[in-house]
Every structure is written in structure tokens, then in C-alpha cells.
Amino acid sequence: MSELRAGIAGARSIVVKIGSSALTDLASGLDRDRLDALVDALEARMQAGSDVVVVSSGAIGAGIAPLGLRKRPTDLATKQAAASVGQLALAHAWGTSFARYRRVVGQVLLTADDFSDRAHHANAQRTLDRLRALHAVAVVNENDTVATNEIRFGDNDRLAALVAHLVSADALVLLSDVDGLYTGDPRRPGPDGRPARLIEQVDGPEDLDGVIAGSGGALGTGGMASKLAAARLASDSGVPVLLASASDAAAALRDASVGTAFAARPERLSARRFWVRHAAQSHGRLVLDDGAVQAVCLRRRSLLAAGVTAAHGNFSTGDVVDLVDLRGEVRGRGVVGYDADDVARMIGRSTDELPADLQRPLIHADHLVPV
Ligand SMILES: Nc1ncnc2c1ncn2[C@@H]1O[C@H](COP(=O)(O)OP(=O)(O)O)[C@@H](O)[C@H]1O
Ligand SMILES: N[C@@H](CCC(=O)OP(=O)(O)O)C(=O)O
């Protein structure tokens, strides 16, 4: 077995994320037999000495049948209503299943804002720590009823990776309805007509060249693209990831012998850079010309006003903003040194054209992280 898999198998503290497709079914809602099988595997891992935090999707999926809806809602209000019905059933089902082992569960609902707000972040961390100390299992989900489209995590893969960072986990296990990362969507043949192939190990971005990460199933949210983004996020915080099928949960949690294993980067990002890149809310967008993208994202220089062609958003000094190229692609993030009003006056001007109080860089290199 590879060193990477051995590390995941032996991880002392793990976060395990279970996707909607692994827990729910459009017609019948929550599948309790599948949930029991997952809890058996999680309990076995805890008995073997690991601390486990569960991130469970499935609230929307579990709310569809009781509300008499026929398919996964697409509008935000109905999704939120389904989540509020389904979350109650979901949390209850986790509680009932773990009760077979006399294990108590605690529900933790988080929004993306909670990761940017220092006090919320610290409180969430403390609650999760205390649940662990009390031998209870935290079951985490997004707080769907208050999360608006703008501030959503987007999917629970990202939430799970942020939780792994929050609790300083040693590994993240993503359990889905697919048994790992394939070279393309396994439901379809690839461009050359051949079936997609399972990738067993990803050591770095070069192993993802040519991989097509497609959309998810009828119940999932982010598809494979969101799992890859979560794996990158976890890797940045030094956490290896195992992506496997929920039906292989027993093997995944026992010895990590199934699925795709993603290595963590050797040096984790500093807490500050991790926050800028992944956890902080973005308050606006600066559009960079090609020269500025090169200077800032590749040569790691400070961002000067001359390379900025437009600014959007009502940001203030100290806020995090996205840096996008002329095609609108996000290329980096950084902590901006001026308010939006000042930036509007500075755009496109070289430093010696600017008044003395506006001659600092828009974003200093130390506060910039390429994406
Ligand atoms: N390259 C790929 N490798 C594996 N699965 C893929 C790939 N591209 C798309 N998929 C699809 O992504 C689905 C998993 O995503 P999703 O439905 O969002 O899962 P979950 O509910 O577990 O979050 C799989 O069922 C698979 O069909
Ligand atoms: N908070 C939502 C999560 C939706 C979601 O991300 O689903 P998935 O892609 O299956 O992990 C719910 O519980 O339905």
C-alpha cells in the first residue's frame, strides 16, 4: 500500500463527507439501510481510535418526497423549504442510527460567513472540539435556510474541506456514488470513444491534465469539479483526501484501500494565505490586463493601479477581492489597500501620475495569493 493511503488509513482525526446521492433517493427520500451501513463503518473507525466529524449532505434530497415534490427543486426558496424539512429528518436519522451504538450526535449548521468571521469561526471550532471531548459525533451541514446564492459554500465538498481545516484533521474522506476520480465522466465514453479510466492517485496538479470533471447526478450539487476544488483546498491546508464510493465505506475507512487518493502539498499555506485564498468572503473584483496577471500571479509582484482596467463592488481597505483576467477568469485573490472610491480614481494610472497619498500598490505582494 502507498505511503499516502497508509497515512489516510492511520489518520488520528478525520472528516468524512457523505454526498446526497449516497444517502437519498428521489422517490423514497432518505435510505436508512444505507445510512446504517455508513454508521457501522464510521463507528468501527472510531472504535479503532480515530476522531470523526461527519459532513452530511442530503437535507434537500430528504425533503423532496415529504413535500410531494417530484424532482430536486432549482429555485432557492423551494430548495430552502426542502432543506428545512429534510434537515430535521436527516439529523434524526443520524441520531437514531448512532444510537444503536449508544453514541450521541450533535447537529452543526454553518454558513460560508462563519468561516470569514473570526468570532463565529472560533465558536464553531470550540463546539466541534467540545463535542469530540464529550465523545459525541458532530454531524455538519450547510445552514441552507439562511444561505443566499451569493454566500453559499456552493456545495458540501468545499464545506467539508473547510471543516477539515477548522478541526486540523489529518485526512478528509469524500464518499459519493462514484468509486473515485475517472479520466472523464464514467457515465459516458470519452472523446476517443473509450470508457473513462479510474485514477488511483493524484500527487499534484500535473496528474489532472486532460481529466474532464463533469456535473453530478440528479441529487448531487457540484459534481466532480467541486470534489477536485475541495481536494485542492484540503491539499493547501496539508490534508490528504480519499474519494470513494459510499458503498465501499467500510474499506475506505478501514484501510483506505479503495477510491482515489489525493496527496497534500508538502508545505501547507500559511493560515493568512489560506484565509485569503479560501475562507474569506470576496467583497469585489478587480479586472487585470494581461501584463498585470503575469506580474502578479506568476512573478508574485505587488498589484499597481496601472495594470487594472476596472473595479467592481463596494469594498473597503482591508477587504478581500477577486482578481480576474480580461476573460473574467479568477486568477488570484488579495487584501486591497484602498476603498472602492479611491480605486476608481486610480485605475489605469501609473504611480508617478497619482497623488502622494495614493502611491502605495493597490495590493501588496504579501497580501496576494494566485488561485
Ligand atoms: N471525471 C469524473 N470522475 C468521476 N465522476 C464524475 C466525473 N465527472 C463527472 N462525474 C460524476 O460526478 C458524480 C458525483 O458528483 P455528485 O453527484 O455531485 O456527488 P455527491 O452527491 O456525492 O456530492 C458521479 O456520479 C459521476 O457521474
Ligand atoms: N446542504 C445541502 C447540500 C447539497 C450538496 O452539496 O449536496 P452534495 O453535492 O450531494 O454534497 C443539502 O443538505 O441538501
The per-residue pLDDT for range 19-46, each reduced to its tens digit, is 998 999 877 889 999 999 999 999 999 9
Q: Is the domain of 162 the same as that of 81?
A: yes
Residues 138, 163 within the same domain: yes
Cβ 91 under 6 angstroms from ligand 2:
no
Pick the range with the lowest mean pLDDT from 52-61, 136-145, 274-283: 274-283
Q: Are residues 103 and 65 in the same domain?
A: yes
Question: Residues 67, 16: one domain?
Answer: yes
Residue pair 241/171 in contact (Cβ under 8 Å)? The answer is yes
Q: Which of 60, 146, 173 to mutate to test the pocket of ligand 2 (most atoms within 8 A of CB)?
A: 60
Taking CA atoms only, the protein residue closest to ligand 2 atom 1 is: 142
| Mutate which of 20, 80, 84 for ligand 2 pocket (most atoms within 8 A of beta carbon) | 20
With beta carbons less than 8 A apart as the criterion, state whether 42 and 52 touch: yes
Does any ligand 1 atom lie closer than 6 A to the CB of residue 274?
A: no
Identify the top-confidence range among 66-80, 110-124, 130-144, 256-270. 130-144
Reported as a pLDDT band with limits 50, 70 and 90, residue 249 is very high
In a shared domain, residues 237 and 318:
no
Any atom of ligand 2 within 6 Å of the Cβ of 142: yes
Count of structural domains within the chain: 2
On whether both 150 and 45 belong to a single domain, the answer is: yes
Distance of CA 157 to the CA centre of its chain: 4
Identify the pLDDT of residue 281.
83
Q: Same structural domain for residues 343 and 365?
A: yes
**pLDDT tens readout for residues 286-298:** 999 999 999 998 8
- Cα–Cα distance for residue pair 319/339, rounded to 1 Å: 9
241 ligand 1 Cβ < 6 A = no
Angle of the 118-133 helix axis to the 156-166 helix axis, nearest 10: 80
Q: Which-ligand-closest: CA of 210?
A: 1
Taking the centre of ligand 2 as the mean of its atom positions, its distance from the CA of residue 265, in whole angstroms, is 27
Interhelix angle 156-166/223-236, rounded to 10 degrees, is 10
Cβ neighbour number for residue 285 with a 10 Å cutoff: 16
Q: How many CB atoms lie within 10 A of CB 250?
A: 16
What's the confidence (pLDDT) of residue 269? 78
Is residue 49 domain-shared with residue 107, that is, in the same domain? yes
User: Are residues 187 and 39 located together in one domain of the fold?
Assistant: yes
Question: Do residues 338 and 317 lie in contact, with contact meaning Cβ atoms separated by under 8 Å?
Answer: yes
Shared domain for 246 and 215, answered yes or no, is yes
Beta-bridge partners for 56: 18
What is the domain extent for residue 104?
Answer: 3-272
Q: How far apart are CA 280 and CA 272, in angstroms?
A: 10
CATH number for 362:
2.30.130.10
Q: Ligand 2 mean position to 361 CA, how many Å? A: 40
Q: What's residue 153's pLDDT?
A: 64
- Note the pLDDT of residue 263: 97
**Pair 286, 191 in one domain:** no
Ligand with smallest separation from the Cα of 218: 1
CA of 274 to the centre of ligand 2 (A): 24
Note the pLDDT of residue 220. 58
Pocket lining: 156 vs ligand 2, CB cutoff 6 Å = yes
Give the domain CATH number at 175: 3.40.1160.10
Known binding residue 17? Answer is yes
- Shared domain check, 303 and 266: no
Check if 217 has its Cβ closer than 6 Å to any atom of ligand 1: yes
